Amino acid sequence: MRRGSVLQLVGLAAVAAVITTLVAVLIPWLPEAASTESGRIHFVYWFTTGIAIAVFSIVVAVLAYSVLHFRARPDDDSDGPPTHGHTRLEIVWTAIPTVLVTAISIVSAIVLAQNGRAGSDPLIVKVKAQQFAWAFTYPNGQSYGSLTLPMDRHVKFEITSNDVIHSFWVPQFSQKQDAVPGQTNTIVVTPRHLGRFPVVCTELCGLGHALMRSHVDVVSPAKFASFMKSGGKTAGPPGLAVFQQNGCASCHTFRPAGATGKIGPDLDDLHAAAAKANRGPVEKFVEESIVDPAAYIAPGFTDVMPHIFKSQIQPAQLTQLVKYLSQGAKQ
Ligand code: CUA
């Protein structure tokens, strides 16, 4: 091969590499890596991207060079010269990708193994998914509708579901894990940035899937200790906590709770609805609608409310919730 041709090939490859690298680096493809595990996952991503850019640049350079130098002239109808492979070239283009793919798999396996390690004293948080809310239970028995995590400590999530398959995802933690009924799946997360990040359901699980969201607050270890000690009580009436823990806000609008869900009836209009339904006093109507949602379906709606609250909400909590809703709605 002539020196000029080699220089031309190298030049084309360099141009392709620079353009692709700019696209990879200048566009923020990934959210911030807010956990140690996601930092490792991002490393694998960039390792793979680097290899991909190199391969892409070489292929594009050879392709462009061939188009420039070997294309048929408009008046050339003759056949090309017969060729019979090139053994050395074929060995090279098989060996190099084999090495690269093996390298990717080794790096991935190391990261997977490291990310599975929870250390000797992880904080265990039980994650329960249900249509359409998350419940997070801490070792002290307290449950919340959102997560609070200490920075720099291994957290082991034990994830399951009450009804259908959901999937637990915090984009800034880079890991997704399915929530499957009758099964416990785990992931380990070690938060390393303070802040609030979204918790997203990332498996189509029904009408309220898009609204099945919560958040995680990563706080300092000292703040977390006092949160655990105080029991992390939510400010406001006790019924509000029950409302939040059971994910009512995903589907219902209720102004006192700042809820804006649109899948179920607007709970601000509870009293008018109760009068229209004509099923006894408001409190009785509200309680029936929670424990036996199919008993009366509001006009314009279907039987989509989960039938799990009868067993899920303790009697004392149910009383608080019924009182909270009945008193907070428009009279
Ligand atoms: Cu739960 Cu989608």
| pLDDT, tens digit, 9 for 90 and up, residues 190-218 | 999 999 999 999 999 988 898 888 899 99
| Cβ of 203 below 6 Å from ligand 1 | yes
For residue 231, the model assigns a pLDDT of 66
Average pLDDT (139-150) is 88
For residue 143, the model assigns a pLDDT of 83
Give Cβ neighbours of residue 18 (< 8 Å, ≥ 6 apart).
Answer: none
DSSP 35: B
Average pLDDT (150-175) is 96
So what CATH class is 123-229?
A: mainly beta
Taking alpha carbons only, the member of 278, 284, 263 closest to residue 326 is 284
Half-sphere exposure of 289 (CA within 13 A, CB side): 27
| Cβ of 209 below 6 Å from ligand 1 | yes
Task: Please determine, for residue 306, whether its predicted confidence score (pLDDT) is greater than 80.
Answer: no
Helix (H) or strand (E) holding 67: helix 36-70
Q: What is the per-residue pLDDT across 244-295, written as a single tens digit (0 to 9) for each?
A: 777 787 788 888 887 877 888 899 888 888 888 888 888 888 888 888 888 8
Q: Residue 19, class by beta-carbon neighbours within 10 Å (0-12 exposed, 13-18 middle, 19+ buried)?
A: middle
Average pLDDT (217-241) is 81
Question: What are the residue ranges spanned by the domains of the chain?
Answer: 3-68+86-115, 123-229, 238-328
Q: What is the per-residue pLDDT across 92-138, written as a single tens digit (0 to 9) for each?
A: 999 999 999 999 999 999 999 999 999 999 999 999 999 888 989 99
Taking alpha carbons only, the member of 149, 152, 153, 140 closest to residue 170 is 149
So what CATH class is 238-328?
A: mainly alpha
Half-sphere exposure of 177 (CA within 13 A, CB side): 22
For residue 17, the model assigns a pLDDT of 96
Phi first, then psi: what are they for 51, rounded to 5°?
Answer: -65, -45
| Cβ of 205 below 6 Å from ligand 1 | yes
| Cβ of 201 below 6 Å from ligand 1 | yes
Ligand 1 nearest atom to the CA of residue 131, by list position: 1
Contact 306, 288 (CB under 8 A): no
Phi first, then psi: what are they for 240, rounded to 5°?
Answer: -65, -40
Question: Could you write out the three-class secondary structure of 149-197?
Answer: EECCCCEEEEEEECCCCEEEEEHHHCEEEEECECCCEEEEECECCCEEE
Confidence of residue 157 (pLDDT cuts 50, 70, 90): very high
Q: Helix 315-328 vs helix 282-291: angle between axes, to the nearest 10 degrees?
A: 130
